[in-house]
Amino acid sequence: MNNPIPYGRQHITDEDIAAVVDVLRSPYLTQGPAIGQFEQAFADYIGARYAVAVANGTAALHLCCLALGVTEGTKVITTPITFSASANCVRYCGGEVYFADIDPETILLDVKAVRALLEQHPKGTFSGIIPVDFAGYPVDMAAFRELADEYGLWLLEDSCHAPGGSFTDQHGVVHRCGDSSLADLAIFSFHPVKHIAAGEGGMITTNDEELYKHLLRLRTHGITSKPEQLLEPSPGGWYMELQVLGYNYRLTDMQAALGLSQLNRVDAMMERRRELAARYDAAFVGTSVQTIVPPAGVGHAYHLYVVQVSDRKGLYDFLRARNIYAQVHYIPVHTMPYYRQFGWKSGDFPNAERYYNQCVSLPMFPTLTNEEQDYVIASVLEFINAAN
């Protein structure tokens, strides 16, 4: 292939461009009607009561931690296999991050490992858990909800990889990732390689009206001018109140318009992702390439298609030499220099570290052609067969 094949790529259509141009010609570039339209459409798609659009997924995580009361000394558990923002959001608020190992079959935070961590400390030590729908594989939030209720914890679901994903609980009920039927809050990202590309952007979903109202204040400096929300009598139409310490984490109307346009075809893009995953699955059957094939009842969203091989660096370099820009997701967060200062070290979570040493994310995006994918598959198999 002459043209590079990235691991992920946005797809911008003429309809997307027209939606953004419409906003540019409107009176509002920010805090206009496109924000509310995007929020309502996204909440309807996910199945949550409320949605709050924000500047990016990291801002969403930060605001959630603030809304959930994370402060100095608050202890929160998350996975080491995630983008660092899933842990950093706790640190932004002065909280303490604890990690638990992953389930090697799913690469998700292992509920048994979390239970073991909770049992090692007095009840009341921890305040919450941040499970991550890694690569698009949905976390069993029913199992985490049961554990959280037992220990009096909140749940924040990081669904950045999984809009449109779902799992079926033991009662046969289907839960969509981030619908907040089991988590207190959930978050999403609209980075260009995600399912919905808005350049940047994020969304928080919840079914809790009080959390929803608090998040609206926090994303706009903590300021309100709405008469029904004022704490003191208004002297005039200009009056506004700074009620809490908030942030400027707003989304622009241009981004909201782009996100809404992309949302209109997200199901078709999801179908294509699953077609590509099925082709990868079939190609690697009977080889030494380890894949993750979810069981029935699990609706994988396939933000990433991850394989595990014995010589990860060899395969990575081999693919790069052939213009295939595979990627690695992720370096375990607890091994990063920043988190080592808190006592975390290599060897703490064997499953996570073993996974990292073997993982490669192959190209996965809706406009990947069958020809391009065949080239990727042939290249992987060429390397594997030569190594054997």
Average pLDDT over residues 90-100: 98
63, 55 Cβ separation under 8 angstroms: no
Tens of pLDDT along 186-224?
999 999 999 999 999 999 999 999 999 999 999 999 999
Three-state DSSP class for residue 66: helix
Q: How far apart are CA 44 and CA 308, in angstroms?
A: 36
Q: What is the side-by-side strand order in the sheet with 154-158?
A: 50-54, 202-206, 185-189, 154-158, 128-130, 75-78, 96-99
**Domains of the chain and CATH, by start:** 6-263 (3.40.640.10), 266-387 (3.90.1150.10)
SS (HEC) of 3-16: CCEECCCCCCCHHH
Helix (H) or strand (E) holding 24: helix 14-24
The confidence score (pLDDT) of residue 241 equals: 95
154, 33 Cβ separation under 8 angstroms: no
The confidence score (pLDDT) of residue 1 equals: 74
188, 60 Cβ separation under 8 angstroms: yes
Tens of pLDDT along 33-92?
999 999 999 999 999 999 999 999 999 999 999 999 999 999 999 999 999 999 999 999
40 token code pair: 């309502």
Active-site option among 75, 112, 123, 194: 194
Collect all residues with Cβ–Cβ distance below 8 Å to 202 and sequence separation of at least 6: 53, 54, 55, 56, 57, 58, 59, 60, 160, 187, 188, 189, 190, 251
Average pLDDT over residues 4-14: 97
The confidence score (pLDDT) of residue 388 equals: 75
Q: How far apart are CA 216 and CA 203, in angstroms?
A: 12
The confidence score (pLDDT) of residue 37 equals: 98
Q: How far apart are CA 114 and CA 144, in angstroms?
A: 9
The confidence score (pLDDT) of residue 95 equals: 98
Q: Determine the length of the chain.
A: 388
For the whole model, what pTM was predicted?
A: 0.97
Per-position b or e across 181-213, b if 16+ CB within 10 A of its CB: bbbbbbbbbbbbbbbbbbbbbbbbbbbeeebbe
Q: Determine if residue 69 is left, alpha or beta; phi over 0 gives left, psi from -120 to 50 gives alpha, anything else beta.
A: left
Average pLDDT over residues 365-380: 98
Amino acid identity for residue 209 in this structure: E
Tens of pLDDT along 291-331?
999 999 999 999 999 999 999 999 999 999 999 999 999 99
Tens of pLDDT along 146-197?
999 999 999 999 999 999 999 999 999 999 999 999 999 999 999 999 999 9
Three-state DSSP class for residue 84: coil
149, 173 Cβ separation under 8 angstroms: no
283 token code pair: 């190609």
**Exposure of 285 by Cβ count < 10 A (0-12 exposed, 13-18 middle, 19+ buried)?**
exposed
127, 155 Cβ separation under 8 angstroms: no
248 forms beta bridges with 220
The confidence score (pLDDT) of residue 2 equals: 81
63, 42 Cβ separation under 8 angstroms: no
Q: What is the mean pLDDT of the chain?
A: 97
pLDDT at 387 over 90: no
Amino acid identity for residue 340 in this structure: R
Percent of the chain residues past pLDDT 90, beyond the cut: 97
- Our answer to whether residue 226 is catalytic in this structure is no
Average pLDDT over residues 211-239: 94
342 token code pair: 């808190």
Average pLDDT over residues 134-141: 98
